[in-house]
Each structure stands twice: as structure tokens, then as C-alpha cells.
Amino acid sequence: MRFVTIGIMLITVSCTTSDSPGSTPSADVRSSDTLAPSSDLLRTPIDIPEPSCAPSKTCADYPNQCGSALYDGCVGTLDCRGACLPPNVCLPDETCGTTSQCVPDCAIAECGSDGCGGTCGLCGDAATCIDGQCTSNCIANCDGKNCGTDGCDGSCGTCAAGSTCIDGLCIEDCSADCIGKVCGDDGCGGTCGECDADTICISGTCEIPPSGLVVANEILFDPPDDAAGDANCDGVRDASDDEFVEIVNDALTSVDLSGATLSDSVSIRHTFADGTIVGPKGIIVIFGGGTPTFDGTGPGTWCTAIPSSVYMDVASSGSLGLNNGGDTVTLTLADGTEIFSVLVDPLLTNLDQSVARSPELTGAWAVHGDIADSIGNFSPATRANGLSF
């Protein structure tokens, strides 16, 4: 219990009484006659109660503060100047921190950490942040290409001067030459024109095919569905493998086709091997692919055994690529001499059967089933009626 001493000041008042006339003088009354106050009365103790609360806060209640006079929850203060955890120190503003402040760095980054606990940006769903850059999740594809786009906004390469990128391949720039020509190759992979169904292209001129030439006699653009379309007799009907071109040497002398090429309107589809000699009235059949099996074991009527003199092969490129809506078929010798270039009426090529010349070798193109005495939908290595040439 605390004691407080209270001082009490007594004021003495001096009074003088004057006698009235005729009265007896009275004695003076002065301050000295007043009783002096007791010293016990001046120092009487008075009880004052102490505060009823106790400090309820600690420095932990003030995170990141480090003041020297923080409220203690009662009537006192806390000194928290040593409350910051290393490496932080108490800064002049009485907060905990480091003497050097972190500066975010996104100068060359568009995503990822800024070095100070923040971010330089986010990539969308189609990209991933790699080394601060948003990288597309797209998978580039340059298979079979040496130029052009990789499908992911990138490049498969660029072509050198003098060539142009066409369908992913660098093609040497070329000036087409059709001077004096109305058909055939323009020298740049294009054509100078097409001949009608009754003529063939010979040295840039459309002419009626005479006897004694190597001619295209039958072409299957659109093999029939199911087993009926197994033109190469390998037991599997395939829309590409069962396409074929039948060529006949209607001459009295042999023809050397070593290095000769068979092309459609897009590219070279077959190159004849060295030593390919076709005798007079010799027959050539080139299938798109598969395993041609003409030994009489096949189910089709056309799968009969054929003479060994028939030259039969599959396209060296892997397919003939004949367009069901019509296509150009060209035979060119190794020295560049064009033997024939034929374009068949598209109305005849998409009917689940071949087209053949009628009459054979010299006539115009006709649907196989419309040729007199024809058998089946096609007849590789024989006439339409199944007989030999």
C-alpha cells in the first residue's frame, strides 16, 4: 500500500475589537492567541489502490516491429529492439528488415521468378516457362522437309539463292520452256498442255498413236472395292498398291528402257532398272505396290499365269499416286526423250474399273467394261478379252 502525505495550511485571522463609548475596554485578541495545528493532522496517510492489471503482451505480439516503447497491455512499455531475427536488423523506422532492399529483375525475362519472391509473368496453357521465356508446347515436325515451317512457328530451314521452297523441299528455280510445244514437260516439272483422249504427246505435239510405238494401253486409277479390286493378285485389295499402268511395245524391234521414268502430273513414280529391254510386242505392267503374283493361284480370273516375257514390277517410289479424278501419265527415256504423255478424261477414271484403248493399242480411251468382249473390270498383261497381244 502506498501513502501520500497531504499538507494542510491553516490561515490565522487577526481581529481587533473596539470599545463602544462608555464601555469597559476589552483585551486584544491576536493571532498569537490562536492554537497551533497538530503535526499529526498535517501528515495523515491516505490509501490509493495500485493498478489492477498485469502486462499481457510480449515482443512476439509485434511481428516485424522493433520499437523501444511498445505497449505492454497494461500501463507500461516493452523494449523490443532485439526482437529481429538475423539477417534482419532493427531499421530506423522501428521495423525489421535488411539494410539492402531486393530489386526485381525482369529485364530479359517474360515469365518465372523476378529474384525477389515475385514473378515476371505467366505463360498460357499452350506454353511452358523455360529459362525465363514462354516456350510453345507444340512439337516441331521437319520429317522429309528441308525448308518451310515446322508446324510450330519455327522453320525447317531456308533455301539457297536460286531455289524456292515448295512443299518443304528446296526446288531449283526454273524457267518453263514451251516454245514450239503444245504438250509434254515444260522442263520445270510442269506441262505445256495435255492431249485429248484420241491422241498422245510425241515430242511436244499431240498425234494419233501409230502402230509400231511404245504405248500406254491400260490404266487402273480406281481399284474396285473388296477382293474384286485385288488387281496385283497378292490377296490384299489396296487402293494404292493395286493401281497399275500397262505399256505395250507395239514395234518390231526391242526398246531399251534402262533409266527411263514413268511419271504422273506430280512427280516421277518409277525408274526402270538398268538392263530393262522390252522385246517386240512386249508387255510392261507397273503396279503401285504389293507383291504381284500371277501364277494361277489367285482367285481372280485375271490372276492366270503370264509369260515370262512380261515385264512386271512395282513403282520404285512406293506408289503410282494416280488421281481418281484423272491424271497425266508420261514415259520418258533416260536421255530425256518423251515416249508418250497421256491425259485420260476424268469422267472415265473414277468408275471402279480400268480404262483401256479401244481398239487396243491405237484407239481412244474407254471404260474397260464398255470394250467389246471384255472380261472383268481390268486385264493387266492381256487384252480386255483376256487374250494375249
pLDDT the model gives residue 41: 43
Average pLDDT over residues 316-333: 93
Average pLDDT over residues 16-34: 42
pLDDT the model gives residue 136: 83
Residue pLDDT, tens place only, 50-109: 556 878 888 888 887 887 887 777 878 888 887 788 777 787 778 887 766 677 889 999
Rounded to two decimals, the pTM is 0.49
Give residue limits of the domains in the chain: 1-15+26-101, 200-370
Residue pLDDT, tens place only, 175-203: 888 999 998 888 877 889 888 766 777 77
- Which has more pLDDT, 72 or 357? 357
C-alpha pair distances (Å), 270 with each of 259, 265, 316, 381: 10, 13, 5, 18
pLDDT higher than threshold 70 for residue 28? no
**Number of C-beta neighbours around residue 380 at 10 A:** 25
Report the range of poorest mean pLDDT among 110-119, 128-137, 257-266: 110-119
Average pLDDT over residues 360-383: 93
pLDDT higher than threshold 50 for residue 171? yes
User: How big, in percent rounded to 5, are the helix, strand and coil portions of the chain?
Assistant: 5, 25, 70
Average pLDDT over residues 282-288: 96
Mean pLDDT (the chain, rounded): 82
- Fill in the DSSP letter of residue 9: P
Whose cell is 528446296? That residue is 170
Q: How far apart are CA 367 and CA 40, in angstroms?
A: 148
**Helix, strand, or coil here: 257?**
coil
C-alpha cell at 351: 468408275
**Number of C-beta neighbours around residue 38 at 10 A:** 8
C-alpha cell at 363: 484407239
Residue pLDDT, tens place only, 31-61: 444 444 444 444 555 555 555 687 888 888 8
Write the CB contacts of 11 (distance below 8 Å, at least 6 apart in sequence).
none
Write the CB contacts of 343 (distance below 8 Å, at least 6 apart in sequence).
194, 195, 196, 197, 326, 327, 328
pLDDT the model gives residue 316: 97
200-370: in CATH 1.10.10.10: no
The strand pairing partners of 312, in sequence order, are: 285
pLDDT the model gives residue 49: 52
